[in-house]
């Protein structure tokens, strides 16, 4: 039986499945009375916090300093980079008044922070000795999205982490791009997410960038989910913000900059969508708010002994640094608790009743495969740690397999259309002409996402649309 036939709810009615797990597993509530603004609930935000911690740790290991810039940007700074304004102007929230009084200088809520950060970089960078300068911040950004909003996938306020760096030249910025990509890879790999890294076509790059790299990942409904981007901005922003430094010869030179961002909503959505099944979430142990849940099975006159043993088990695991929940709420029956914690995606369930008390054992049930095994109290810690490790590996492998299954090739528009309908991510030959990309989109309702990054792929035929010589192999898929 394949995953897809088993998890029909997730694969055939993804929207409903997703809305249900968001609410029932207390991930997010979209009923906040401002459209496009979502409340992250306890279980969901606990996962997000752990992702932030992993990402911040990796960034700081790679010499990025944590900073926190103001949420407001003055209009004149924002208006400096032309392409940037063009890309974001329609989505900006303006602050125009304080009480009844109109502000002399309009402010905007950051849609991203380049124009907040570079004026300060200009003050801090004097000489080549001040470079490279690398910072990151965890914050919320605001964009008045005009496309349909969807909790976690597309909102008007989103949680993210952005990094910004400045360098002596383009070459050094290029190195930084690779460092940024590596940092993101580490985080996604640890979360068991599979992805492709593509260089976006010019018409789809970040406003003001030389080029944009994006991490695209699969979604059960066939629409790829962009979970992170890395941009080389070259000298574009440095020029308009006059970000210069004195080089070794004493001459003034322009810096080069990069930036990269990871949106928490999209990453969280990918975790739920990749690993979850028809019974609810399956969380990677590394970010699960609780890694183990203990469900005691009280039995008539043995209830006290069972309860005491459950507490022993809880203490043993806590000492070992495992995040454990003892569910001794007697208002629910054991079967109801199993159902509940499966929905929440807790990686391992421990069941124990009188038989386990007598044998000094427990029954372990893993969430990803639902397989059961026994463990003795003496080796419990090792067994649980081993099991968590196994689950982490298994869900990563499943996600990777699913991505491999989704990747296909097409040689004609008909073939492409049919594969897109089958929710595939499809490789096609493309001449590089923007018009052709737009026509492909009109024809098959799939976006040209870009060329694979870090690996040359040679076109094997003519452009799938116009029949001219192809310059690139590009990936086409539906997207959010």
Residues that bind Zn ion (CB under 5 A): 431, 433, 436, 463, 465-466
Q: What residues contact 203, with CB distance under 8 A and at least 6 apart?
A: 434, 437
Smallest separation, CB 457 to Zn ion (Å): 17
Smallest separation, CB 342 to Zn ion (Å): 49
Kindly tell me the burial class for residue 23, based on how many C-beta atoms sit within 10 Å of its own C-beta (0-12, 13-18, 19 or more).
Answer: middle
**Is the Cβ of residue 213 or residue 463 nearer to Zn ion in the bound state?**
463
**Is the Cβ of residue 384 or residue 431 nearer to Zn ion in the bound state?**
431
**Is the Cβ of residue 379 or residue 411 nearer to Zn ion in the bound state?**
411
Q: What b/e sequence results for 265-275 when a residue is b if at least 16 CB atoms lie within 10 Å of its CB, and e otherwise?
A: bbbbbbbbbbb
Instruction: DSSP letter for 93, please.
Output: P
**Is the Cβ of residue 391 or residue 436 nearer to Zn ion in the bound state?**
436
Paired sense of beta strands 223-234 and 472-479, if any: parallel
Smallest separation, CB 432 to Zn ion (Å): 7
Long-range interactions of 213-218: CB distance < 8 A, separation 24+ = 213/177, 213/181, 213/453, 214/449, 214/450, 215/184, 215/188, 216/425, 216/449, 216/475, 216/477, 216/479, 217/188, 217/193, 217/270, 217/274, 217/403, 218/194, 218/274, 218/402, 218/403, 218/406, 218/425
Smallest separation, CB 468 to Zn ion (Å): 5
Smallest separation, CB 434 to Zn ion (Å): 10
**Is the Cβ of residue 358 or residue 414 nearer to Zn ion in the bound state?**
414
- At residue 387, the 3 state secondary structure works out as helix
**Is the Cβ of residue 238 or residue 463 nearer to Zn ion in the bound state?**
463
Smallest separation, CB 441 to Zn ion (Å): 13
**Strand partners of residue 163:** 136, 260
Smallest separation, CB 204 to Zn ion (Å): 16
**Is the Cβ of residue 364 or residue 431 nearer to Zn ion in the bound state?**
431
| Chain-centroid distance, C-alpha 197 | 13
**Is the Cβ of residue 405 or residue 469 nearer to Zn ion in the bound state?**
469
Smallest separation, CB 211 to Zn ion (Å): 21
H or E segment and range at residue 267: helix 264-275
């Amino acid at each position: 039986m394949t995953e897809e036939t088993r998890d029909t709810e997730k694969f055939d009615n993804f929207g409903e499945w997703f809305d249900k797990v968001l609410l029932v597993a207390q991930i997010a509530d979209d009923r906040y009375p401002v459209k496009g603004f979502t409340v992250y609930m306890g279980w969901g935000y606990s996962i997000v916090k752990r992702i932030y911690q992993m990402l911040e740790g990796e960034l700081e290991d790679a010499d990025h300093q944590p900073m926190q810039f103001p949420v407001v940007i003055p209009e004149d700074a924002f208006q400096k980079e032309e392409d940037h304004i063009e890309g974001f102007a329609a989505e900006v929230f303006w602050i125009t008044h304080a009480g009844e009084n109109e502000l002399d200088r309009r402010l905007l809520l950051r849609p991203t922070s380049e124009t907040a950060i570079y004026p300060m970089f200009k003050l801090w960078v004097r000489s080549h000795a001040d470079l490279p300068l690398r910072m990151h911040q965890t914050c919320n950004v605001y964009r008045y999205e005009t496309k349909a909003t969807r909790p976690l996938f597309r909102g008007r306020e989103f949680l993210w982490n952005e990094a910004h760096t400045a360098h002596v030249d383009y070459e050094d910025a290029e190195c930084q791009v690779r460092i940024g990509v590596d940092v993101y890879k580490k985080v996604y790999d640890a979360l068991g997410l599979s992805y492709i890294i593509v260089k976006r076509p010019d018409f789809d790059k970040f406003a003001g960038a030389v080029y944009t790299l994006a991490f695209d990942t699969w979604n059960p409904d066939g629409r790829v989910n962009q979970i992170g981007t890395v941009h080389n901005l070259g000298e574009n922003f440095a020029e308009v913000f006059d970000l210069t430094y004195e080089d070794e010869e004493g001459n003034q030179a322009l810096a080069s900059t990069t930036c990269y961002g990871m949106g928490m909503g999209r990453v969280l959505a990918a975790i739920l969508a990749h690993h979850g099944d028809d019974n609810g979430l399956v969380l990677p142990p590394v970010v699960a708010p609780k890694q183990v849940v203990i469900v005691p099975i009280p039995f008539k006159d043995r209830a006290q002994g069972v309860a005491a043993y459950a507490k022993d088990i809880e203490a043993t695991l806590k000492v070992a640094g495992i995040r454990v929940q003892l569910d001794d709420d007697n208002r629910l029956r054991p079967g109801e608790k199993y159902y509940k914690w499966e929905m929440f995606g807790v990686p391992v369930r421990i069941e124990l009743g009188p038989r386990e008390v007598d044998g000094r054992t427990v029954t372990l049930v893993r969430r990803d495969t639902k397989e059961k095994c026994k463990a003795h109290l003496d080796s419990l810690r090792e067994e649980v740690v081993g099991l968590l490790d196994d689950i982490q590996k298994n869900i990563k492998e499943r996600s990777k397999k699913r991505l491999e299954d989704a990747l296909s090739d097409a040689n004609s528009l008909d073939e492409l259309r049919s594969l897109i309908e089958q929710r595939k991510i499809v490789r096609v030959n493309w001449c590089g002409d923007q018009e052709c990309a737009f026509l492909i989109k009109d024809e098959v309702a799939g976006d040209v996402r870009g060329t694979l990054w870090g690996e040359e792929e040679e076109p094997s035929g003519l452009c799938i649309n116009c029949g001219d010589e192809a310059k690139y192999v590009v990936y086409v898929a539906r997207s959010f």
